[in-house]
Amino acid sequence: MPSNPHFYIILNQVAGTGQAASIWPKIETQLKQKQIHYDLQLSHYAGHTTQLAFQFAKFKYTDQILLIIGGDGTLNQAINGLQNAQRGDIPIAYIPCGSGNDFARGVGISRDPLTALEQILSATMPTAIDLGYYHDTTKNDHGYFVNTVGIGFDANVVSTTNHSNHKRLLNRLHLGSLAYISSLVKVFMHQDAFEVTVTADHQNHYFKRGFLVTTTNHSYFGGGVPIMPSATVDNHQLDLIVIEKLNPFFFCYLFVMMLFGRHTRYQAVHHFEGTNLAIQTKTLEFGQMDGEELGSRTFDIHYSLKSQAFWLKKQA
């Protein structure tokens, strides 16, 4: 660790339905006891973390580390702020306080906030990790992602869950998974198959009955489901998975296999990997990036690989 570390902290108090706000006093106590220097900024609205991280990148002092306390969406915004400032070399640390915390699972960060803080304080140097970058030519939209970009089923589930009347209540009762499961069933009954073309290694692969199309930076999505068990943040490639529309019985069976990471061997599951991938759809489909909605639209997305310095000591 730098001899005189200084953390620039961005706290999203509403992450994890208030978990980040409730854990902050304990984190603050630990920092003060260890005489760690820090500045604190609160993220107040959607996109605010991106602005704060961008400003930090422009005026960073020596030995400063950006520390994010929030969910994967907060982390995504912070990384987009650094990358938009062309400062992927600035180390970023992360204490997960969201509802899914897939990034923490994927890179070996404890999902217990105080243990994650200990990992940060025991790190001695930054580690370079992979990021995904997407550019959608349909809307000239672009951004960086740490987890996944999904089109179709998983994105529809995200949208349905976010707009559920019961989501906030169930989250407060620590039963958020029930809202997600309810959305899974509802979306499966209404999500149609769609045409999708995947480009990998300069070859086009056409699927008439696409159902779930996910590009991932590591193993997990959906709050701990190992969508691509072999994917890691340091293998210098992105992984793309296409699952075709299935009958209800086989879908349920495949979903159970997915929970154990044993779904990739089936004929309806197609896997691609590389540093440059592309996806095209012709119909309006839901999209999501790191759990944030991209809306319902057609997509012409090109993916590439980027790098980000991370202040990380993985769990043993």
pLDDT tens digits, one per residue of 171-189: 555 555 555 666 777 788 7
Q: How far apart are CA 67 and CA 62, in angstroms?
A: 15
Q: Whose CA is closest to 74, among 46, 100, 102?
A: 46
Q: For CA atoms 247, 252, 255, 257, give the dihedral sign.
A: negative
- pLDDT tens digits for range 259-315: 899 999 999 999 999 999 999 999 999 999 998 899 999 999 999 999 999 998 866
- Same domain for 90 and 137, yes or no, is no
- Strands of 169-275 (E only): list them: 194-200, 203-216, 220-221, 225-226, 238-244, 269-274
- Same domain for 149 and 220, yes or no, is yes
- Same domain for 172 and 74, yes or no, is no
List all residues 6 or more positions away from 174 whose beta carbon is below 8 Å from its beta carbon.
none
- Same domain for 232 and 156, yes or no, is yes
Q: Is the pLDDT of residue 168 over 90?
A: no
pTM as predicted: 0.91
- Same domain for 234 and 137, yes or no, is yes
Mean pLDDT of the chain: 90
Percent share of the chain, pLDDT over 90: 75
- pLDDT tens digits for range 22-80: 999 999 999 999 999 999 999 999 999 999 999 999 988 778 999 999 999 999 999 99
- Same domain for 112 and 58, yes or no, is yes
Count CA atoms within 13 Å of residue 314 on its CB side.
11
Q: How many domains does the chain have?
A: 2
- 316 within a domain of the structure (yes/no): no
| Structural domain boundaries enclosing 156 | 132-306
- Same domain for 291 and 174, yes or no, is yes
Last residue of a domain, one of 125, 155, 178: 125
Last residue of a domain, one of 125, 147, 166: 125
CATH code, domain carrying 101: 3.40.50.10330
Residue 31 has a pLDDT of 96
Work out the average pLDDT over 223-241: 94
Q: Is the pLDDT of residue 100 over 90?
A: no
